[in-house]
Structure 1
């Protein structure tokens, strides 16, 4: 596939890093909260960038947008995170135009997720788009591309079984608990933090362990009570954290803070304690694993758990890729149409000027000149001529760039610039 000219002055890039090359610690340095992403987008807008998406999840941080050079986006990312350009270059990827479009389709449809078929990412992509739209930095290209990816995601969900069975890190964590903790329904489970993964884990724990001894602690008690009410769990105050850890057999940490929330000092246990850290950056201090009786598992380990479900999902990849190709081609056709729309518009304008000059001349020359009829006929002819040109440009066997140049030259067209 040829590289489509997306903008006169800039190209469409994806810059980012993910779980494939960047470990949890490094991903943590580049992760962004909502406020950081808003600040980044506002800076980009001030720099004249008119289309940009920012996404930051536990598995990846990416910017998708227009720039004259990818370094413009890399610099923005490093200015708004704890990461440096040097660290970024070691683990990063940069995609341009078609490759960037293709990458966003793979990411948005769960084909690039740490756990194949994890559809959490599509809701994060929707949030990214809404954020950019609200800030006025989602141009028609970004809007159409996001809608196409959402459409592909829906079709893959409906037409394949790529997300059947375990669909997320939350499920993998519950699977791990069930395999490694005997008599789980009798054990005390403590969930610390009510982030999205924490809530999903909570739901999965209740569904699969049939355990009535689940306690929830969050910094803000109100948030914990909302979730606890839904699932009929116990809620304890943040101040009770140390006491509750002592009683627990399993501790699930889903706090999403920028620095560790569980330190070695908090833990005094005489019985085995399994700690699952589902946060990026890590929210359990590294030295916790030095404690006797304590096993610490981070979500990066969980994602490596391959089971029959994941193996089964792989057979649906070709079908999912075919759906992506189908919708991506539609998007590219729209993009091509956008490229030649200004030329067709300028051609129509030129033909109308010619018509008006001729009408003016004929009305002066002929006393019985029927202006209304002549106007109607000539407008229909102009419509047919421009449609003929548009169909020619849409033809896959035609080199659109050469044809556009020829049309501009023959009709001496002046093209109004468009992004």
Structure 2
């Protein structure tokens, strides 16, 4: 559809990979931290891409943007991660135009989340758009689209129970601990990493385990202290990690590191130790499983847990999809309006040129000619004419291409409308 062709020969695509086909190891190779995101957007800018958003979470890496061919966007991902084009072709996906728009709505509304109803992705989309805007690769299309997805997400939260109860991987981890660790309130719990998932996990641990001796460790101590202060918890230095692991019963790893931070060499305890790895890429080395006292669980395994809460949420999917369709339709209508805006602008310019010529003619012909009144009157007529044309195009979107062509021919706007 020409409506999407708003960037001079480019079309709107979503390219990415997710938990649906890519396991944690592959998602890790394609993950983008903040620095990689910036590098990707800067590269896109250098290559002349004027509209692009890049997101990367524990269960997906995606680009939403304009390109002549989706391979331009796939290459951007591969150039800025450890993933290869061959790997992407095996597990990745590409959506174009309407399908790409529908996909971002489903992602932002929690319908495509690893845990149904998990809305944490919407804050990622917000921050990703802000970064694109700062770097100068966020066009009006992406701004309107992002705001529409945020609107749909808010409505689904407020008007349905799709997100009833806790909805995230961090909550699933706490559910797992409660189910598998006896007398959890008396156990030593160590949280390593205080990014967003770490913070949410910490809050859920305090709320649901009734445990008042949770220890936090982060590479940057002041970040851990801010969170610890909120919940009145203990903070230890990064250099104390090995010693704290020796004491703990449950270790939750939620760092943003690109390589494993916990390995067999760090574990010097013979008592049972449960390790939950909530990181992408994986931050717990597989060699910990060589220790007979260690149980290691990755977030992909946690996300497979089904319970009554998740089953209950499925009933609200149709209601959520209806809301998405309403908001998406409003966005498409705006997009259609945007398609004919250049022609309306060109028409207004042409009418103004005709008006100026007529006023000049009558100014010379009549000695008492009133310029001010003539300007006011003719400007109102021009506004009414262009408004009529705009309303006609809005109300007859199925034939708008033919109407645009007719307007351009009648008023000889071909060159002006393309300018």
| TM-score between both structures, scaled by the size of structure 1 | 0.95
- Corresponding residue of 2:313: 313
3-state DSSP of counterpart to 1:211: coil
CA distance 1:256–1:379, change in 2 (3 Å): closer
Where does 1:186-335 land on structure 2 (aligned, <5 Å)?
186-335=186-335
Shift of 1:387: 1.6
- Corresponding residue of 2:4: 5
- Corresponding residue of 1:352: 352
Equivalent pair of 1:6/1:335 in contact (CA under 8 Å): no
- Corresponding residue of 1:166: 166
Distance 1:213 1:74 in 2: 46
Distance 1:382 1:240 in 2: 75
- Corresponding residue of 2:101: 101
Where does 1:103-182 land on structure 2 (aligned, <5 Å)?
103-182=103-182
Q: More displaced, 229-238 or 244-253?
A: 229-238
Matched length: 417
Shift of 1:385: 1.9
Shift of 1:15: 0.6
Equivalent pair of 1:3/1:98 in contact (CA under 8 Å): no
Distance 1:85 1:93 in 2: 12
Equivalent pair of 1:14/1:100 in contact (CA under 8 Å): yes
CA distance 1:394–1:268, change in 2 (3 Å): same
Distance 2:369 2:257 in 1: 80
Distance 2:176 2:195 in 1: 20
Shift of 1:227: 1.7
CA distance 1:241–1:364, change in 2 (3 Å): closer
Give RMSD over aligned pairs. 1.7
Shift of 1:226: 2.1
- Corresponding residue of 2:416: 415
Distance 1:255 1:232 in 2: 21
Equivalent pair of 2:336/2:397 in contact (CA under 8 Å): no
Equivalent pair of 2:3/2:339 in contact (CA under 8 Å): no
3-state DSSP of counterpart to 2:3: coil
Distance 2:126 2:13 in 1: 19
Shift of 1:4: 2.9
- Corresponding residue of 1:26: 26
Distance 1:256 1:369 in 2: 74
Shift of 1:239: 2.5
1:183 and 2:183 matched: yes
Shift of 1:370: 5.3
Equivalent pair of 2:251/2:274 in contact (CA under 8 Å): yes
Distance 1:415 1:309 in 2: 58
Shift of 1:417: 4.2
Q: More displaced, 134-143 or 221-230?
A: 221-230
3-state DSSP of counterpart to 1:312: helix
Equivalent pair of 2:271/2:293 in contact (CA under 8 Å): yes
Q: More displaced, 26-35 or 181-190?
A: 181-190
Shift of 1:320: 1.3
Q: More displaced, 360-369 or 49-58?
A: 360-369
Shift of 1:100: 1.0
Distance 2:37 2:61 in 1: 11
- Corresponding residue of 1:64: 64
Shift of 1:116: 1.0
1:39 and 2:42 matched: no
Distance 2:131 2:59 in 1: 20
Where does 1:370-385 land on structure 2 (aligned, <5 Å)?
372-385=372-385
Shift of 1:397: 5.7
| TM-score between both structures, scaled by the size of structure 2 | 0.95
Q: More displaced, 59-68 or 212-221?
A: 212-221
CA distance 1:368–1:66, change in 2 (3 Å): same
Q: More displaced, 171-180 or 225-234?
A: 225-234
Distance 1:151 1:366 in 2: 57
